[in-house]
Amino acid sequence: MIRYIGKRVGAGAICLALVTLFVFMAMRLVPGDFVTIQLQDATGVTKEEAEQLRASFGLDDPLLVQLGDWLAGVAQGDLGASFWSNRPVTEVLAERIPVTLQVGLLALLLAVGAGLAFGILGARRRGSWVDGATRIGAVVGLSVPHYVTALLILVALTNLFYWSPPLVFTPITENPSAYFQQVGIPIIALALMMTASIARMTRSSMLEALSSESVRAVRARGGTEGRVLFVHALRNASIPVLTLIGLELGGVLGGTVILETLFNIPGIGALTYDAVSTRDYPLVIVCTIFYCIVYLVVTLLVDLAYAVVDPRIRTAGVGS
């Protein structure tokens, strides 16, 4: 197990390095830099003054020199300072992580509960109107982007009940009611799309598990329907569902970029959007590193969860 984890961590480190290098290069190939963006509406600024400001940020150095300087800072544990606020990027990121994790995890918990319930119900009542409604709902949920769903909900609430979310974000520790008024629509929008995919995967996996020889043997021995569904069939069907849930957890963090910007939620998604818009290179890099690490950790945890769910995988792969 330790050897397996070591290999995955090593592969993840290589992946993280390549992704970071790509983003570092790509951002500097985008037209306009931080100084250009900040001075585009300014008047009375001479070209020499703009060049001096660009030199103060090291933006006039060749690309490889900028990369070398950044790597030298990383080797010393310094990921740089934000161009905009002149604060360490790790400090800026740390302030935003709890907000995005709260929204993402609440949406994921809601989606997992609803997705598993609808998927199991659809498989249990295969061919019924319940199964048909579940499948149609899943297709609709997957077809409509989460930000469109959020806007539709917002328009409906505004037109029908003359209600709109607060414009100023309030932490959950200060006012839970105001907090959920602002993040409620994004959570529901994210959860609906994830519920659709989880329900579809659960249904198809459960149908395959229910028709397996092992489940038939349990029924022949007089096993109750509840035991057949939730102990034997669900356990056999859980591996592809776990994979999907792991991918959804990584995807939901990326999905918050648009929603956080639309609903004025100060999370990592809105931070990433602002950093890209203003060409705040150090902040873009640290946000990229965060997203990449989340994906790598989630996929590793999902692989390890396989061994808990199915001992055959532990003995054949993960445990080797």
pLDDT digits (tens, 9 = 90+) for 59-101: 888 888 888 888 888 888 888 899 888 899 999 999 999 999 8
Q: Which of 75, 105, 138 is the last residue of a domain?
A: 75
Flag whether 282 is in a domain.
Answer: yes
Flag whether 43 is in a domain.
Answer: yes
Helices and strands of the chain, counted as H and E runs: 14, 0
One domain for residues 41 and 159:
no
Asked if pLDDT for residue 44 goes beyond 80, the answer is no
CA distances from 99 to 95, 187, 298 (A): 8, 12, 19
Higher pLDDT, 211 or 173: 173
Asked if pLDDT for residue 320 goes beyond 50, the answer is no
Cβ burial 116-141 (10 Å sphere, 16+ → b, else e): bebbbbbbbeeeeeebeebbebbeeb
Identify residue 116 by its one-letter amino acid code.
L
Range of the domain at 35: 2-75
Question: Tokens in use for 174?
Answer: 């200060």
Asked if pLDDT for residue 156 goes beyond 90, the answer is yes
Which of 52-61, 151-160, 199-208 is modeled with the greatest confidence? 151-160
Flag whether 251 is in a domain.
Answer: yes
DSSP state of 230: I
Question: pTM to 2 decimals?
Answer: 0.80
Higher pLDDT, 220 or 80: 80
Question: What mean pLDDT comes out for the span 135-157?
Answer: 88
pLDDT value at residue 186: 92
Asked if pLDDT for residue 309 goes beyond 70, the answer is no
Q: Which of 44, 75, 106 is the last residue of a domain?
A: 75
How many domains is the chain partitioned into structurally?
Answer: 2
pLDDT value at residue 319: 45
Look up the CATH number of the domain holding residue 202. 1.10.3720.10
One domain for residues 39 and 100:
no
Cβ count within 10 A of residue 190: 28
Asked if pLDDT for residue 317 goes beyond 70, the answer is no
Rounded to whole angstroms, how far apart are CA atoms 307 and 240?
Answer: 13
What would the pLDDT profile of 163-197 be if each residue is shown by its tens digit?
888 888 888 888 899 999 999 999 999 898 889 88
Nearest 10 degrees: Cα torsion 112, 113, 119, 120 = 130
Q: Is the dihedral of CA 42, 43, 47, 50 positive or negative?
A: negative
pLDDT value at residue 308: 66
pLDDT value at residue 313: 54
Question: 3-state class of 267 per DSSP?
Answer: coil
pLDDT value at residue 283: 92
One domain for residues 17 and 132:
no
One domain for residues 130 and 218:
yes
